[in-house]
C-alpha cells in the first residue's frame, strides 16, 4: 500500500510539473484548452476614464492592472496611475482583491471596476491589432522573409510558413535602414520573467530590441520593447501573447571619419505595435550580447539577427528598406 501511495505521489508531481510547463503556440488551441486564455487581455471602452489589462498566471489566478486614462497607446502614459490587484477564477467569475480605493469583478466578459468617490466603470474585453500588421514592403526593399523560403537566413528554419527563433542571421547586410518585422510570442501562463516567450531582434549586428511576453508589465529595458542594457521603452505597448505584434524600426548606423575613427554612435526610432517607444534614441555603447557583429565596431554593413532563447517565438513579414 505504501509503495502505491509513493508511486501515486510521484505521478502526481510529474503531472503537476508537466501542467506548469504547458506552452501554447496556437491561439485556437489555447482558447479551447485553457479557460484563463479567454480572460487574459485588454478591457476598454471609448470615452471611459479607465483601461485595464489582465494577465493569466495559471490555475485560475490573474493580475489586473487598472490604468487611469485608458490603455497604453490609447491615452495612458507612464506618469499616470497604474494599480495592480490580484484575482481568482471561481464558477466563471474572477473576483479581485479589494484595496482601499478600488475593487473589481469579471463576469460574462465584462470587467466591473468600482472606485471610491468615482463610481462604477464597466469595460468589455477588446482585441487590438497593430496598425502596421501586414505592411507591404516599399519599392527598393529587401524582403528577408515572406513565408516562402529561408534563403536570406543563415541557419534559418521555417515551419508552417513562419520563421522560427533559432538564432538566425540575415545574409544581406545593411547600414542605415528601415525594418518591418512581425512576431508572435507563445502563451506560457506559469512562466515568469525572461522565461515567458523570450527572443530578440538585433540591429547593426549587436543592438537588441527585446522580444518577450511582457504584456501589462512595467516596461523595463529587459522587457519587450526595451533596447537591452541601454534604454527602457517610453511606454509598454505590448499586446497579449499569441497576438501578432509589429516592430517598425528606423536604424542609423554609427558614423566614422575617413581614418576610421567613430564620430557618432548609432541611433534608432522604434515603434512597437504602431506606438513610438524610442524616439531617435542614441545607442551609446556597444551591446554585444549573444549576437554576430562582435569585435571592433567598423564602418561596414552588418546583419539583422534573431535570437534563440529556447522559446517557440515565430516571425513573419520581414523586410528592410535601405536609406539613401
88-112 tens-digit pLDDT: 999 999 999 988 889 999 999 999 9
Q: Which domains are present in the chain?
A: 23-126 (2.40.128), 142-322 (2.60.120.560)
Percent of the chain with pLDDT strictly greater than 70:
91
Name the one residue in this structure whose C-alpha cell is 510521484. Answer: 10
The average pLDDT across 178-190 equals 97
Better-predicted residue by pLDDT, 271 or 3:
271
Please, what is the end-to-end C-alpha distance for the chain in angstroms? 78
Q: Is residue 171 packed enough to be buried (19+ CB in 10 Å), middle (13-18) or exposed (0-12)?
A: middle
Bridge partner list, 275? 272
The average pLDDT across 293-307 equals 85
Name the one residue in this structure whose C-alpha cell is 489589462. Answer: 53
72 pLDDT above the threshold of 70: yes
d(CA 8, CA 10): 5
4 pLDDT above the threshold of 60: no
Around 140, how many Cα atoms within 13 Å sit in the side-chain half-sphere? 6
Residue 157 is given by DSSP the state -
Contacts of 307 (CB under 8 A, 6+ apart): 165, 167, 198, 199, 200, 201, 202, 208, 211, 290, 291
289 pLDDT above the threshold of 50: yes
228 in Cβ contact with 211 (< 8 Å): no
Closest to 317 (Cα-Cα) out of 212, 213, 163, 154: 163
**DSSP-assigned states of every residue in 234-286:** SS--PPPTTS-EEEEEEEE--EE-TTS-EEE--EEEEEETTEEEEEEEE--S-
Q: Give the range among 3-12, 60-69, 152-161, 262-271 with minimum mean pLDDT.
A: 3-12
241 pLDDT above the threshold of 50: yes
Mean pLDDT, rounded, of the chain:
91
Model confidence at 9, in pLDDT bands (50, 70, 90)? very low
Amino acid at each position: 500500500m505504501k509503495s502505491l501511495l509513493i508511486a501515486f505521489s510521484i505521478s502526481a508531481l510529474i503531472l503537476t510539473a508537466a501542467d506548469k510547463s504547458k506552452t501554447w503556440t496556437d491561439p485556437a488551441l489555447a482558447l479551447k484548452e485553457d479557460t484563463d486564455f479567454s480572460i487574459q487581455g485588454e478591457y476598454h471602452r471609448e470615452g471611459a476614464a479607465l483601461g485595464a489589462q489582465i494577465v493569466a498566471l495559471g490555475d485560475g489566478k490573474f493580475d489586473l492592472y487598472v490604468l487611469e486614462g485608458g490603455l497604453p497607446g490609447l491615452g495612458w502614459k507612464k506618469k499616470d496611475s497604474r494599480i495592480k490587484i490580484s484575482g481568482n477564477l471561481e464558477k466563471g467569475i474572477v473576483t479581485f482583491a479589494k484595496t482601499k480605493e478600488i475593487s473589481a469583478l469579471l463576469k460574462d466578459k465584462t470587467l466591473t471596476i468600482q472606485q471610491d468617490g468615482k463610481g462604477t466603470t464597466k469595460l468589455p474585453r477588446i482585441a487590438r491589432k497593430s496598425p502596421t500588421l501586414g505592411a507591404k514592403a516599399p519599392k527598393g526593399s529587401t524582403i528577408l522573409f515572406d513565408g516562402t523560403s529561408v534563403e536570406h537566413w543563415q541557419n534559418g528554419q521555417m515551419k508552417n510558413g513562419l520563421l522560427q527563433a533559432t538564432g538566425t542571421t540575415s545574409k544581406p547586410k545593411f547600414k542605415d535602414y528601415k525594418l518591418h518585422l512581425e512576431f508572435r510570442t507563445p502563451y506560457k501562463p506559469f512562466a515568469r520573467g525572461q522565461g515567458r516567450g523570450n527572443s530578440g531582434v538585433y540591429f547593426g549586428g549587436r543592438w537588441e530590441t527585446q522580444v518577450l511576453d511582457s504584456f501589462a508589465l512595467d516596461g523595463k529595458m529587459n522587457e519587450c520593447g526595451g533596447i537591452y542594457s541601454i534604454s527602457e521603452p517610453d511606454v509598454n505597448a505590448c499586446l497579449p501573447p499569441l497576438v501578432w505584434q509589429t516592430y517598425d524600426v528606423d536604424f542609423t548606423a554609427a558614423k566614422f571619419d575617413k581614418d576610421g575613427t567613430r564620430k557618432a554612435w548609432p541611433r534608432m526610432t522604434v515603434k512597437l505595435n504602431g506606438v513610438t517607444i524610442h524616439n531617435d534614441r542614441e545607442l551609446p555603447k556597444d551591446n554585444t550580447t549573444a549576437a554576430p557583429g562582435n569585435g571592433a565596431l567598423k564602418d561596414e554593413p552588418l546583419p539583422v539577427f534573431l535570437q534563440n532563447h529556447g522559446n517557440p517565438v515565430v516571425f513573419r513579414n520581414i523586410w528592410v528598406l535601405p536609406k539613401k
